[in-house]
Structures are given as structure tokens and as C-alpha cells.
Amino acid sequence: MKMRTLVILLLVLGLLAGASALLLFHSGWSPQTAKVQEDRLLEELPVNEVAFLTVASSHNTTTVAKKEDGWIVKERSSYPADFGKIVNLVRALKETTIGRQFTGSDETLRRLALKDPDDPAAADTEKGLLLILKDQKQKILVSILLDRQQKDHYTGQEVPGRYVRLSNDSTVYLIDERFITVSEDPKTWLDSFLFKVHPEEIKSISCISTSDDTILYRFARSEKEEKLQAVAGTLASKPINQLSLNKLTTSLQSMKIVDVVQPTTDSVTAVQFPYRFDYELFNGTTYRIYLGKENPIPEPCELRLTVEYNRPQSGKELAPASDETAIEAKKLNERMSHWLYLVSSSQYRTFMTDPDQLVIMRQTNRPSDKSLPLQMPTQ
């Protein structure tokens, strides 16, 4: 091998070694402190004993707690929490696998945003997300700090995993889970689905002005197999846009909220809620949706709701009363009627208050090309 070629190879190897060392330095890893692991970080976590879950940042804290009738969000006046999200998080914590670990210096903990949220000497950008799990007696089962979703120093891509450390321990772990749904924002822990009503169960839909109880429009049918027909209001004699009607009938199929406001016993007023939608079902249940005024996108809109049961008719006679349906309607009303819900603008707009939104609008006839005067090209 020629001397010149050997020198070039040595230079290339030196550059590669330097780049590798620089990369390991930026990741906080060193040969003396790091080792590859196949173990689970929290394998001994007693998942069935978890009764409190707290997520804290430098500016907010949320706690969900286990009660006799289910989990609740404390910062939302004990509104029901998303049980599935809690179960998935606890299970993921127990099954989290360690990719590698190293001893983090103070500088490394700051750079990885793994300082405690209450650390007065750390900047907000250096503080992590603190996750604490406790049992029924408030005994801490695990206290773990999550980083702020780090990005690779060179590529700018998010790290395929997450840096974490157990509280009061300087050991940093790179784990395989990312926990992207974990947040200190209370509304992210709410049970956001109110109910699900299949369109085929709807007997009638009425849009009502609450100021004078005027029916703006009403669709109804006698049997499930029939199509909803406009039977009252200004739509009774107009061609109906079926796509818009389908949108209206599916409004309750996935009724989802983005937040709730502290419950109140105040009555619904026409000033605050100018419109009401009555969805009457064949089983006698009626969902009443009171719409607040629409807010500009992306601000959420307000609504309140009540649930009632009226014994349905079978032909000209009343159908047999359904105690089970009546009890369920009462439970839903007790749980939902005193809350002020916030929904997305897109959810809000499925309730069409302008009857013209449900009408097929005729297009203005435009003159055909043949009726236009022929223009001769100029020289």
C-alpha cells in the first residue's frame, strides 16, 4: 500500500472516530457509564394498586383519582376521566423497556429537560414532566420525570423513545415508549364522548328558537325503515339536501367534547342559548341540545343538554312502558344536565340553525358559449 493511501485512510478513520465521540458526548453517553439493557424499568409496578395519577409541569398540575363509581379529574370538578387512557398509560409504564442508561450530570439533565418542575434553579425549558402514581393511602408507587420530547442534535428528528429518570436519581434511561398522550392539561384526561345515538334510532329532529319556542324546522318519520321528511317550519315545501340532512342526523353518533366548565344549577336562558335541538328516539328518549352562540374558529362553542323519557306511541295507543329505558334516561340527565360543555366548531356546525342550509339551492343559469358573441381575432 502506498504511503499516501495509508495516510488518507488514517485521516478518514480519525474523522470517523471524532464524529462518533462528538455524537456520544451530545447524547450524554460515555463508555464508563452506559450499558445496554433488556430489562423493564418498572416491572415491579403494582398496577392494581394505582388510585391516584398526577402529572405536573412547571406551570400546571392535573390529578385523576379513582372513586367507587370510576375515575375522575379533580381539576374539572370531578368530571369523569378517560378510563381507557389511564389503563393504557399504567400498562405502558409497567412494560417499558430500557434501551440504554447513563449517569446524567447536572448539565445533561438541564439539556435533556429532566430537572424537577419545582426546581427554582432551573429554567422552564430545562424542566421535565413529572408523573406520580400513588395507592389509595397516598403512598407513592412511582415518581418519574419525562423529558420534553427531545430531537436529535444532527437530524432534527424526534428521538425514537424518551429520556426519563426516576425522581431523586441522576440515572437517565432511554426507553422505548414515547408517552405522547401524557399531558398536564386537565381537559386531555376527560372522558370526551358523551353518548352515541345511531341515526336509525331517531324518530324526529326539531330545531327550535328558545326565545319564543318557534319551530324553525322539523323532520319526522313513523317507522325506522322510512326516510325523515320535513313536516314543519319553512322546509315542509322545499327540496331537501340529503347530504346536509345526513350530517344533521349523525350529529349524536359521536358526540364529543373538548372541555367542561364547572357545573351550575342556573336555568337555560334564551339569551345565552338561542337554539334548541330535540332528537326524539323511537324508544321514547329525547335528547335536548341547547346551543350557545357560535365562536370563531378555533375557539370552542358552548352547549348544554338534557335527557328526557316520554312513553312512545304504538299507532294510536301508548306503547308498553320501558322501565329500563326510563331509568337510563334519568341517569343520563342527572349526569349531564348541569354541565356546560365546550365542543369544537366542527361539532357545533353539525347542528344547522339556518333552515336554508338544508335546502338544495338552485344554481343561476349561465349563458352557454353559443350565446356569446363571436370575437374575431385582431390583426
Separation of alpha carbons 189 and 260, rounded Å: 11
| 166 bridge partner residues | 144
Q: Which of 238, 233, 239 is nearest to 209 (CA)?
A: 233
The 10s digit of each residue's pLDDT in 83-107 is 999 999 999 999 999 999 999 999 9
Do 68 and 94 lie in a common domain? yes
Do 130 and 239 lie in a common domain? no
Is the Cβ–Cβ distance between 44 and 32 less than 8 Å? no
Separation of alpha carbons 202 and 219, rounded Å: 10
> Which pLDDT score, from 0 to 100, does residue 23 have?
43
Range in 1-15, 62-76, 177-191, 328-342 the model is least confident about: 1-15
Distance from the Cα of residue 280 to its chain's centroid? 28
Which residues, including other chains, have CB under 8 Å from residue 174's CB and lie 6 or more apart? 98, 99, 100, 101, 159, 161, 162, 163
Q: Is residue 320 part of a domain?
A: yes
Separation of alpha carbons 139 and 158, rounded Å: 34
Q: Is residue 245 part of a domain?
A: yes
Do 171 and 48 lie in a common domain? yes
Do 247 and 162 lie in a common domain? no
Q: Which helix (H) or strand (E) covers residue 86, if one does?
A: helix 83-95
Do 182 and 265 lie in a common domain? no
Q: Residue 287, Cβ neighbours under 10 Å: how many?
A: 24
Domain termination site, one of 189, 215, 239: 189
Total domains in the chain come to 2
Do 62 and 161 lie in a common domain? yes
Do 165 and 258 lie in a common domain? no
Q: Which helix (H) or strand (E) covers residue 72, if one does?
A: strand 70-73
Q: What are phi and psi of 107, to 5 degrees?
A: -65, -40
Is the Cβ–Cβ distance between 142 and 49 less than 8 Å? no
> Which pLDDT score, from 0 to 100, does residue 20 have?
52
String of DSSP letters for 220-252: E-SSTTSPPEEEEETTTTS-B-HHHHHHHHTTT
Q: Is residue 318 part of a domain?
A: yes
The 10s digit of each residue's pLDDT in 269-314 is 888 999 999 999 999 999 999 999 888 888 899 999 999 999 887 6
Sign of CA dihedral 29, 33, 39, 40: negative
Do 185 and 240 lie in a common domain? no
Q: Is residue 120 part of a domain?
A: yes
Do 54 and 151 lie in a common domain? yes
Q: Is residue 342 part of a domain?
A: yes
Do 130 and 184 lie in a common domain? yes
SS3 readout for 176-214: CCCCCCCCCCHHHHECCEEECCCHHHEEEEEEEECCCCE
Q: Is residue 20 part of a domain?
A: no
Which residues, including other chains, have CB under 8 Å from residue 257's CB and lie 6 or more apart? 190, 192, 194, 341, 342, 343
Which residues, including other chains, have CB under 8 Å from residue 330's CB and lie 6 or more apart? 307, 309
Do 223 and 312 lie in a common domain? yes
> Which pLDDT score, from 0 to 100, does residue 160 have?
75
Residues 135-164 have a mean pLDDT of: 83
Domain region containing 42: 29-189
Is the Cβ–Cβ distance between 249 and 238 less than 8 Å? no
- Quote the DSSP letter at residue 160: S
Domain termination site, one of 189, 219, 235: 189
Q: Is residue 212 part of a domain?
A: yes
- Quote the DSSP letter at residue 351: S
Separation of alpha carbons 279 and 197, rounded Å: 10
The 10s digit of each residue's pLDDT in 209-236 is 999 999 999 999 999 999 999 999 889 8
Q: Is residue 15 part of a domain?
A: no
Instruction: Take residue 204 and report the three cell numbers written for it.
Output: 324526529
The 10s digit of each residue's pLDDT in 37-56 is 468 999 999 999 999 999 99
Q: Are strands 129-134 and 61-67 parallel, antiparallel or unpaired?
A: unpaired
Q: Residue 296, Cβ neighbours under 10 Å: how many?
A: 7
Do 164 and 224 lie in a common domain? no
Q: Which helix (H) or strand (E) covers residue 345, if one does?
A: helix 345-348
Q: In this structure, which amino acid lies at residue 263?
A: P
Mean pLDDT of the chain: 86
Domain termination site, one of 189, 220, 249: 189
Inter-CA distances, 41 with 36, 97, 99, 106, 154, Å = 13, 6, 10, 22, 28
> Which pLDDT score, from 0 to 100, does residue 297 have?
83
Residues 131-158 have a mean pLDDT of: 85
